[in-house]
Amino acid sequence: AQTVTQSQPEMSVQEAETVTLSCTYDTSESDYYLFWYKQPPSRQMILVIRQEAYKQQNATENRFSVNFQKAAKSFSLKISDSQLGDAAMYFCAYISSNTGKLIFGQGTTLQVKP
């Protein structure tokens, strides 16, 4: 079975600085997709960025980028120029092409200090 692990329960960053959230996963599949979701205090899940496993190029969405290391099964999220609105719980997630199920990591709570 696939698993997703986020080893950092909490992280903090100074406003305008850069922070990296870690995520590792375990799978025997070769075809899958990886995501980072943001859950602010409203608890609405918001897609931040996605990565197809077959693509070597790291995905980027404005201030958000990932470091995808397929061999190491690592998928970290880098947030540049952190803003107060980035404060939220961040979840790393995996979709199996076989089952279609979205599997979440434990989450990392990000605090942004002014």
Partner 1 sequence: GAVVSQHPSWVICKSGTSVKIECRSLDFQATTMFWYRQFPKQSLMLMATSNEGSKATYEQGVEKDKFLINHASLTLSTLTVTSAHPEDSSFYICSARARRGNSYGYTFGSGTRLTVV
Q: Output the six-digit token pair for 61.
A: 């969405």
Of 15 and 34, the one with the shorter C-beta distance to partner 1 is 34
Check if the beta carbon of residue 106 is closer than 8 Å to that of residue 6.
yes
> Is 27 near partner 1 (CB under 8 A)?
no
Q: Of residues 45-104, which lie at the interface with partner 1 (CB under 8 A)?
A: 45, 47, 50, 52, 89, 91, 93, 95, 97, 100-104
Q: How far is the CB of 76 from partner 1 (least distance, A)?
A: 18
Helix count and strand count (H, E) for the chain? 0, 12
Number of residues that bind partner 1 (CB under 8 A): 23
> Is 22 near partner 1 (CB under 8 A)?
no
**Angstrom distances, CA of residue 2 to CA of 23, 46, 48, 74, 100:** 13, 22, 21, 13, 12
Q: Which residues contact 99 (CB under 8 A, 6 or more apart)?
A: none
Q: Name the site residues for partner 1 (rule: CB under 8 A).
A: 33, 35, 42-45, 47, 50, 52, 89, 91, 93, 95, 97, 100-107, 109
